[in-house]
Structure 1
Amino acid sequence: MTKFNRRNFLKSSLFGASGMLVSGSVKASTARSETAMIIRTLGKTGIELPILSMGVMRADTPNIVKAAYDSGIKLFDTAHGYQRGKNEEMLGEFFKDRPRDSFIIGTKVIPAGIDRRTGKLGPDFTKEGFLEMANTSLTRLQMDYVDIFYHHLAQSRETLLNDGMLAALTQLKQEGKAKHVGVSTHKNQAEVIRAAIEGGVHEVILVAINFTMKDDKDLMDAIEEGAAAGLGFIAMKTMAGGFHDEEKKIPVNGVAALKWVFQNPHIATAIPGFTKFEELHTDLEILNGLEMTEEERGNLLAGGGRSGFFCSGCTGCQHQCRKGLPVSDLMRAYMYTYAYGNLEKGREILDEYGVDADPCRGCPGCTVTCSSGFAVAERIAKVSRLKDVPEDFIT
Structure 2
Amino acid sequence: MEYRRLGKSGLQLSALSLGSWLTFGNQISDQVADELMGVAYDAGVNFFDNAEGYAEGKSEEVMGRILKSHGWERESYVVSSKVFFGTENKGPNRVGLSRKHVIEACNAALKRLQVDYLDLYFCHRPDKNTPIEETVFAMNTLLQQGKILYWGTSEWSATEIMEAISIAKQYHLIGPTMEQPQYNLLERTKLEKDYQLLFKEHGLGTTIWSPLASGLLSGKYTAGAVKDTRLDLKGMEWLKESVLAEENLKKAQQLQGLADELGVPLAKLSLAWCLTNPNVSTVILGASKTEQLKENLTAIEVVPMLTPEVLTKIEDIMQTKPVLPQF
Same fold, judged at TM 0.5 (above):
yes
1:69 maps onto 2:41 in alignment: yes
Instruction: Return the structure number with greater helix share.
Output: 2
| 1:213 alignment partner, SS class | coil
- Give, in angstroms, the shift of residue 164 of structure 1: 2.0
The CA distance in 1 between the partners of 2:98 and 2:282, in whole Å, is 32
Conserved? CA contact 2:102–2:139, under 8 Å: no
Among residues 126, 147, 151, which one is paired with 1:181 in the alignment? 151
The AA in structure 1 aligned to 2:209 is M
- Give, in angstroms, the shift of residue 286 of structure 1: 1.9
Q: Are residues 274 and 122 of structure 1, via their aligned partners in 2, closer, same or farther at CA, if it must alter by over 3 Å?
A: closer
- Give, in angstroms, the shift of residue 44 of structure 1: 2.9
The AA in structure 1 aligned to 2:213 is A
Among residues 142, 146, 168, which one is paired with 1:172 in the alignment? 142
The superposition leaves residues 245-284 of structure 1 with CA deviations (integer Å, 9 ceiling, x where unpaired) of 5814857722122222222211111112111112211211
Conserved? CA contact 1:208–1:235, under 8 Å: yes
The AA in structure 2 aligned to 1:213 is E
The AA in structure 2 aligned to 1:237 is S
Query: Partner residue of 2:236?
Result: none
Query: Partner residue of 1:38?
Result: 2
Q: Identical aligned pairs, as a percentage?
A: 27
- Give, in angstroms, the shift of residue 122 of structure 1: 12
Residue correspondences, number: 257
The CA distance in 2 between the partners of 1:62 and 1:122, in whole Å, is 29
Query: Partner residue of 1:234?
Result: 207
Question: Which has the bigger relative contact order, CA under 8 A and spacing at least 6?
Answer: 2
Stretches of structure 2 lacking an aligned partner (at least 5 in a row): 87-92, 169-174, 226-248, 257-265, 323-327
Q: Are residues 135 and 199 of structure 1, via their aligned partners in 2, closer, same or farther at CA, if it must alter by over 3 Å?
A: same
1:259 maps onto 2:272 in alignment: yes
- Give, in angstroms, the shift of residue 238 of structure 1: 1.0
TM alignment of 1:181-330, pairs within 5 A = 181-185=151-155, 189-200=157-168, 201-214=175-188, 216=189, 219-228=191-200, 229-243=202-216, 245=222, 247-248=224-225, 253-293=266-306, 304-305=318-319
- Give, in angstroms, the shift of residue 93 of structure 1: 1.2
Conserved? CA contact 2:273–2:306, under 8 Å: no
Conserved? CA contact 1:197–1:226, under 8 Å: no
The runs of at least 4 aligned residues of structure 1 exceeding 6 Å deviation read 121-125
Conserved? CA contact 1:206–1:236, under 8 Å: yes
Query: Partner residue of 1:393?
Result: none
Q: Are residues 282 and 125 of structure 1, via their aligned partners in 2, closer, same or farther at CA, if it must alter by over 3 Å?
A: closer
| 2:13 alignment partner, SS class | strand
Q: Give me the CA root mean square deviation.
A: 3.2
The AA in structure 1 aligned to 2:109 is S
The CA distance in 2 between the partners of 1:178 and 1:73, in whole Å, is 20
Stretches of structure 1 lacking an aligned partner (at least 5 in a row): 1-36, 113-120, 307-311, 313-395
* Greater gyration radius: 1
Q: Are residues 296 and 79 of structure 1, via their aligned partners in 2, closer, same or farther at CA, if it must alter by over 3 Å?
A: farther
